[in-house]
Amino acid sequence: MFKNSPPESICLIRLSHIGDTCHALAIVRAIQDNWPATRLTWIIGKIEEELMGDIPGIEFITFDKSKGRQGYQQLQRLLANHSFDVALCMHASMRVNPIYRMINTPVRLGFDYPRARDFQWLFTNHRIEEQRQEHVLDSMMGFACHIGVPKQVPRWDIPLSAADRAFAMKHTGSADAVLTISPCSTQRRRNFRNWNADKYASVANYASQKLGCRIILTGGQSDLERKYGRKIEYRCEREVINLIGKTNLKQLLAILDVSDALICPDSGPAHMATTVGTPVIGLYATSNPDRSGPYLSRNLIVNAYPEATRHFLGKMPEELRWGQRVRSPGAMALIQLDDVIERINRVFDR
């Protein structure tokens, strides 16, 4: 689309969630690396802006969905004096569709028809090439490729302040090895992604006793996450550092940066850890890790998704719609403790 000369300005739209904005950042970096003079504006969610908002060379426009209609009106005022050569409409969602019409641009580039969920195709006028069975990051990279940016090895480089790094060092200190456990995924209706707390405790006991790891627990401020943290902490035979509900996103990223590995379900921290090069032992049963797993740690994933689809849906993954979830609370029980420990040994070369 812009193979002869780069565009002067690009608007990128990806509001949420944390993992998806991490994927989107890889596309932003590819654009910056190839077209350093192009002006970039990113319409992003309020929470996600806390992690990304200080990245140099990007104008961030924040959309606060909690404000309802007022949030849309505020965004429209902010966009009134902007114009762009192209808008990369990388968020197929009913609540995002109205935003596309607010953007002054001749090109609203959206997903191909099969992936343009929630009628996104009605709000865009160009589409990326159709691809099947892609990882989410690769599907977003399709936007960059469509406008003339070559695909490249992803990079992220999210800034961390000295205070953020000091926070991480305060809790990791002189430990020879640090294993961080983020036990819970974001609570959403009919999403069952969390492994058993007792099994997390068994993993922590193994890593601390056999491998000498310092164990750090991380997570958000929900009652469920705090309950998980207390239960894991209670069943651990050695001290663990429980930071659940006690970090902001930058501090969490700093903790992940100094960790030797992260164990977590399908969740934002898996992709945050990927941005800083920390190996991720991803626990997957209700979602397909080939689509949404940690991009650089796919060899470490404990993948019970095929077993879950066979057991609960009566089909193999290749017979299902790409990305279909297993919405059964029993699915994560298919993940075996021995498999998780094997991945830990692999990371720590034991």
User: Would 9-146 and 162-347 be classified into the same CATH topology?
Assistant: yes
Instruction: Please determine, for residue 107, whether its predicted confidence score (pLDDT) is greater than 80.
Output: yes
For 132-185, how does the pLDDT look when each residue is reduced to its tens digit (9 = 90+)?
A: 999 999 999 999 999 999 999 999 999 999 999 999 999 998 889 999 999 999
Residue boundaries of the structural domains of the chain:
9-146, 162-347
CATH class of the domain whose range is 162-347: alpha beta
Q: What is the mean pLDDT of residues 254-280?
A: 99
d(C-alpha 196, C-alpha 37), whole Å: 49
Q: What is the mean pLDDT of residues 57-83?
A: 97
d(C-alpha 162, C-alpha 235), whole Å: 34
**In CATH, what number does 9-146 get?**
3.40.50.2000
Q: How confident is the model at residue 52 (pLDDT cuts 50, 70, 90)?
A: very high
Instruction: Please determine, for residue 186, whether its predicted confidence score (pLDDT) is greater than 90.
Output: no
Residue whose tokens read 């430990």? 175
pTM for this model (two decimals): 0.97
For 205-225, how does the pLDDT look when each residue is reduced to its tens digit (9 = 90+)?
A: 999 999 999 999 999 999 999
Q: What is the DSSP string of 300-324?
A: G-EE-HHHHIIIIISS-GGGS-TT-
302: Cβ contacts below 8 Å, ≥ 6 apart: 281, 282, 283, 284, 335, 336, 339, 340, 343
Please report the pLDDT score of residue 1 as a whole number: 85
